[in-house]
């Protein structure tokens, strides 16, 4: 689907959460190896059409001890429950939309807690489930990536936990490759 991530030196943007610290918003995407004390991966269920697993990141970060992400993966969607443990009262959920692939601009639409990005016959829908009152918005900054330019779609939430889903889909047959 039309999403991606960026190198840490170029803006550290990936799907997930950030928390408000004294120096501004912080996220796992910008953590260097010395800030992550450990990670634990646990599979809780594994079937043909359903995989559930959790990743717990232990952090060496002022006010934050860990970030826990619980994933539920089906053929139709990925559902994530993400939580920050520590002295945090506000989080931000982020989705890096592929805004331009070098040839075409994506069609990006946002309606409250849902964002949709369509490009080259596919669409990725990002929905915040745990806070229907959230207002996702484009941040207006393009960051270069291996596939083109990304723009963050993000929204702030009071508390330490968010649940969101990602749904990729084909909306048109892919164009044949030029010979």
pLDDT by residue (tens digit) across 32-85?
788 999 999 999 999 999 999 999 999 999 899 999 999 999 999 999 999 999
Q: Is the pLDDT of residue 4 over 60?
A: no
| pTM of this structure | 0.87
Instruction: Output the pLDDT for position 84.
Output: 96
CA distance 158 to 149: 29
Contact between residue 172 and residue 84 where contact means Cβ atoms under 8 Å apart: no
Contact between residue 143 and residue 103 where contact means Cβ atoms under 8 Å apart: no
CA distance 12 to 14: 7
Instruction: Output the pLDDT for position 23.
Output: 82
CA distance 84 to 165: 18
Instruction: Output the pLDDT for position 10.
Output: 56
Q: Is the pLDDT of residue 164 over 60?
A: yes
Which is more confident, 47 or 170?
A: 47
Could you tell me how far CA 48 lies from the centroid of its own chain?
Answer: 25
Assigned token pair, 83 = 């939580």
Q: Is the pLDDT of residue 108 over 60?
A: yes
Q: Is the pLDDT of residue 7 over 60?
A: no
Instruction: Please compute the mean of the pLDDT values over residues 133-143 and round it to a whole number.
Output: 92
Contact between residue 16 and residue 69 where contact means Cβ atoms under 8 Å apart: yes
């Amino acid at each position: 689907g039309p999403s991606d991530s960026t190198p840490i030196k170029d803006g550290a943007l990936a799907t997930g959460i950030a928390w408000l610290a004294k120096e501004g918003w912080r996220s796992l995407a910008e953590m260097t190896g010395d800030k992550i004390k450990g990670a634990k991966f646990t599979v809780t269920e594994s079937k043909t059409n359903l995989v559930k697993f959790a990743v717990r990141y232990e952090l060496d970060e002022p006010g934050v001890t860990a970030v826990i992400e619980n994933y539920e993966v089906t053929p139709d969607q990925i559902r994530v429950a993400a939580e920050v443990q520590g002295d945090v009262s506000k989080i931000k959920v982020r989705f890096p939309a592929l805004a331009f692939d070098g040839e075409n601009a994506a069609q990006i639409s946002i309606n409250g807690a849902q964002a949709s990005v369509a490009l080259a016959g596919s669409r990725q829908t990002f929905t915040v489930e745990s806070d229907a009152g959230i207002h996702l918005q484009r941040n207006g900054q393009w960051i270069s990536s291996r596939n083109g330019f990304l723009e963050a779609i993000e929204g702030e939430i009071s508390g330490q936990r968010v649940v969101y889903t990602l749904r990729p889909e084909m909306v048109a047959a892919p164009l044949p490759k030029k010979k």
